[in-house]
Structure 1
Amino acid sequence: MVSRSAGVIVIGLGSFGSATAAELAGRGLDVVGLETFGPAHDQGSGHGGSRIIRQSYFEGADYVPLLRSAYAGWRRLEERTGAQLLTLCGGLYIGSETSPIFAGACAAAQRWELPHEVLDADGIRARFPVLAPADDAMAVWEENAGYLRPEAAIRAHLDLATERGAELHFGERVMDWRATHDGVEVITEQQNYAADRLVITAGAWAPVLLRDLGLPLIVQRQVMYWLQPEFTAASGYRDYTDWRLPVYIEESASRDHQIYGFPMIDGPDGGLKIGIHHGSIIRESTADDLDRTVSDAEIAAVTERAQQLLPAIGARPVRAKVCMYTMTPDEDFVVGRHPDHDRVIIACGFSGHGFKFVPVIGEVLADLVQHGATGHPVGMFDPCRMLSSSDRDRTGWPLQSR
């Protein structure tokens, strides 16, 4: 028996669900949001204190218009809520001349005429003496890059959604959903809901809630590490304020793993946050079977890799935290209407680089709920691209743009 009817139900109130609920409620819709865990929790993908934001996008130049909209969206959210979410400290993208990181960042910056500089290995060392790039390294330096505060951003969107009238339920796990003749029904551990529309933003739980589609989504276990520098006379540094680190991403043919990192944004006691985006240390998992214990071997491997790029860093770990990436085969997102149910909108598979897009994706999902289309360029994220040709033929819908 249905105990609550709504205009729109949003499943998952993490990064994208919180933004979508806020946007929908701001447009006057009757919104119910459902979340298994608490507000801004640490069980999924939207935690860890910081996320990189950048515009010279090596993943693809087609992302840049969305990034411009996202930057504007973050600033609007800061103005509306008073939260301090986006800090620009510059970004450095390091690789060989033909590597995807360097070549891709150059291509995006040049296509969209983004302010940037190109540095060789000597230029990197001169600008950032604490870094020790490979001798063949090249880098794109971008001032208009920095980091976001994910937990604060999610809380800001949740607060805004509540202020605008959304009804948000935490600690309520969704067991299943189904399409009905005039809408959708959602079944949780506590009760059943009916709605005209449904938005599924379930992160690493999307493979379960969208199992009918058979999307080729893979959940990766990821670890974020915070390491404590040890300043000795030989290092040449008095303390972390001498480092002048930007956000950075580095890959090298001579070094295993693609590494990324941040300035010491929480001071010396907070440690220097570093992570591995790609490499042999990453393993597959499922959301409900995730191993949240970080081994000594993992810490040793990441510390060794970090010391290649930052030789002054010490070996003492401050802490480590497990999170998840939900990967697509092409590492592009999945955003659009469910191929079988035109009242259901899905967003998943953000492949470890999605958080910076949260405000604009919230707008996109709200557009699709209200209008069935959006003015934002999201055609490359259409779920149908990942279906077999026979499955793709079951819908004649165009890509979600207008």
Structure 2
Amino acid sequence: MAPTSLSKQSPIVIVGAGAFGLSSALYLAQAGYTNVTVFDKQPYDKNAYSTADGADAASADFNKVMRMSYGDEIDYQRLAWDAIQIWDVWNKQLSASAAQDLPAGLKPSDKLWDNCGFLRMSTDGGLSAFEHSTLRNITREGLRSTQFVIGDEDDEKRAPFYFREGEWEKKKDPFHRQKKGESLAGVFDTTAGYVDASKACAWVMHLCRQSGVQFVLGEKDGQVSSFIKSPTGKKTVGIKTVAGKEHRSEFLILAAGPWTPYLFPAVSSLMETTVGSVAYFQLPPKNKAPHLWERFSPENFPVFAYGGWTKGLGIGGFPRTADGIVKIGYRGVKYTNYEDVEEKTTGTKHRISVPKTKYWPEPSEPAITRQAVEAIKSVVREALPELAELGIAGCRNCWYTDTLDTDFVVDRVPGDDGMMICSGGSGHGFKFLPVLGREVVKIVETPTERSAIAKRWRWRTKASGPRNGLEEGESGPRNWKKQEMARPEDWKFDMRAKL
């Protein structure tokens, strides 16, 4: 049952129209809440979450990994499995939609997710402890048949009956390691693939609008400048926007991704804004390089983690997009950017990590670190020489929030019945877009009766044991201001790339 102060007609404000905010809004509307409004600084109604049209947020992207491989964290594995079922449904619903009924940025021929598979490839000839625990838990759930361990006699025997002709050979060794006499070991997950994040957000916003959710977007009307407190100062009762307008709420969900600590510094002891680095490789026009378009197509090339999921340089990548872009990401080091932040409600000043994006808090050039570029280049040079010949065509910094233990934070602010934090994606949250809001509604309505996964998302402290770098602070080696930024000339490969 819902808290006594919250009815189905109560005004609910959600700050943030990314994955966490959209999913929360959708499920609240589907649960019968009729007065849900989402605020966001970015004009997603105009740019349809497209990075090419100016969208700049973690939830706006070509592609993100959809996986259920979580080692011994079976609660996330189960939640990811639930999400896959809904991704499938959404693909079917989109394809069955009439073009004129869809918003800008979507058409019936689009796929919100592509089940191209996920190769977690080892470079040392063996499987990590993470892979072994993942296989144990997937077997426990009766899904072992969805996993193919490279070199496993039984898996190799059944592969020809599962994959299209020639597909297994291409996807288990996309880096041609066998031809080079190198070890070949890893796990191929057939349940996995990638989601088109920008299109997925546009789709869920569409579903939200159909369910009665209201959106207030834009740098003045949609941007929160401060929170409104009750006369006692103990309860959040609304927001004030940059436009100067006040919007009252009986319940507020702060789901602002990497901007969450900026807007609400009290949460900075639980989560820290960090950035991962992305490089793009542009294939030549299809008629000039049909072999590359074929090689890197989702039908022939999987999502991959090079060196495994918990080892190596933290390099992962994707098949090409419809525009011929191959994206490779680096999360070996997650950088921080410390600035002075003033808490508008109290005037208190904090020194915390904040994003450097096009939108907030000040415009930033899209340069990634030289360390990230060199790490990406080293793997491309070794494993994907075709891309090395092309050189890096562009780059992007993708700002996230990392929690102290990589679990999300979905809980009421202690001592404030009017505000919930719904953030801390820690680089693995987007895949849960179809189901996250389901858990949010349960927590809103029955805060003391939590599922196993929701128990992991409670408000917690550093005393719980930080494991994700939060204890480093500004003096740590990840500080953005200590890094050397890559220049366009650093994007090029030397002649050794062709060896």
Q: Normalised by the shorter chain, which TM-score bucket?
A: 0.7 to 0.9
Q: 1:99 aligns with which of 125, 128, 143?
A: 128
1:330 — aligned with what? 405
Between 1:126-135 and 1:179-188, the stretch displaced more is: 126-135
2:147 — aligned with what? 116
1:248-259 matches, within 5 Å, as: 248-251=304-307, 257-259=313-315
Gaps of 5+ in 2: 1-8, 98-107, 157-167, 338-352, 358-363, 465-499
1:134-149 matches, within 5 Å, as: 135=182, 138-149=185-196
1:85 Cα deviation from its structure 2 partner: 0.7
Change in CA separation of 1:373 and 1:225 when aligned onto 2, cut-off 3 Å: farther
3-state SS of 1:205 partner:
helix
Change in CA separation of 1:251 and 1:259 when aligned onto 2, cut-off 3 Å: same
CA contact (8 A) 1:89 1:143 kept: yes
Answer 1 or 2: which has greater strand percent. 1
What is the CA–CA distance in structure 2 between the aligned matches of 1:164 and 1:144, rounded to whole Å? 30
Change in CA separation of 1:89 and 1:126 when aligned onto 2, cut-off 3 Å: closer
What is the CA–CA distance in structure 2 between the aligned matches of 1:292 and 1:374, rounded to whole Å? 46
What is the CA–CA distance in structure 2 between the aligned matches of 1:224 and 1:259, rounded to whole Å? 10
Q: Kindly provide the amino acid, as one letter, of the partner of residue 69 in structure 1.
A: D
What is the CA–CA distance in structure 2 between the aligned matches of 1:77 and 1:199, rounded to whole Å? 25
What is the CA–CA distance in structure 1 between the aligned matches of 2:66 and 2:147, rounded to whole Å? 15
1:284 — aligned with what? 336
Structure 2 residue 247 is the aligned partner of structure 1 residue 193? yes
* Number of equivalent positions: 376
What is the CA–CA distance in structure 1 between the aligned matches of 2:445 and 2:93, rounded to whole Å? 23
2:226 — aligned with what? 176
CA contact (8 A) 2:150 2:172 kept: no
Structure 2 residue 34 is the aligned partner of structure 1 residue 7? no
CA contact (8 A) 1:6 1:194 kept: no
Structure 2 residue 416 is the aligned partner of structure 1 residue 341? yes
Q: Kindly provide the amino acid, as one letter, of the partner of residue 156 in structure 1.
A: W
Change in CA separation of 1:53 and 1:174 when aligned onto 2, cut-off 3 Å: same
Q: 2:392 aligns with which of 297, 314, 317?
A: 317
What is the CA–CA distance in structure 2 between the aligned matches of 1:108 and 1:225, rounded to whole Å? 33
Gaps of 5+ in 1: 232-236, 390-402
1:213-252 matches, within 5 Å, as: 213-228=267-282, 238-242=291-295, 244-251=300-307
1:150 Cα deviation from its structure 2 partner: 0.8
What is the CA–CA distance in structure 1 between the aligned matches of 2:189 and 2:140, rounded to whole Å? 15
Change in CA separation of 1:357 and 1:295 when aligned onto 2, cut-off 3 Å: closer
Computed over aligned residues only, the root mean square deviation of the Cα atoms, in angstroms, reads: 3.3
2:73 — aligned with what? 60
What is the CA–CA distance in structure 1 between the aligned matches of 2:171 and 2:63, rounded to whole Å? 23
1:108 Cα deviation from its structure 2 partner: 3.4
1:381 — aligned with what? 456
1:383 Cα deviation from its structure 2 partner: 3.3
What is the CA–CA distance in structure 1 between the aligned matches of 2:141 and 2:227, rounded to whole Å? 42
1:75 Cα deviation from its structure 2 partner: 3.2
1:275 Cα deviation from its structure 2 partner: 0.7
CA contact (8 A) 2:37 2:215 kept: yes
CA contact (8 A) 1:121 1:136 kept: no
CA contact (8 A) 1:91 1:142 kept: yes
CA contact (8 A) 1:22 1:166 kept: yes
Change in CA separation of 1:210 and 1:86 when aligned onto 2, cut-off 3 Å: same
1:214 Cα deviation from its structure 2 partner: 4.0
1:331-370 matches, within 5 Å, as: 331-370=406-445
Change in CA separation of 1:346 and 1:62 when aligned onto 2, cut-off 3 Å: same
Q: What per-residue deviation string (whole Å, max 9, x for no partner) do you get for residues 290-323 of structure 1?
A: 4442258454542232232323333422322221
Q: What per-residue deviation string (whole Å, max 9, x for no partner) do you get for residues 18-50 of structure 1?
A: 121122122231111110111126322112211
1:90 Cα deviation from its structure 2 partner: 1.1
CA contact (8 A) 2:250 2:418 kept: yes
What is the CA–CA distance in structure 1 between the aligned matches of 2:312 and 2:186, rounded to whole Å? 18
What is the CA–CA distance in structure 2 between the aligned matches of 1:315 and 1:120, rounded to whole Å? 32
1:264 — aligned with what? 320
1:71 — aligned with what? 84
Q: What per-residue deviation string (whole Å, max 9, x for no partner) do you get for residues 213-243 of structure 1?
A: 4423222222222214689xxxxx9333145
Change in CA separation of 1:161 and 1:252 when aligned onto 2, cut-off 3 Å: closer
1:88 — aligned with what? 115
Change in CA separation of 1:51 and 1:162 when aligned onto 2, cut-off 3 Å: same
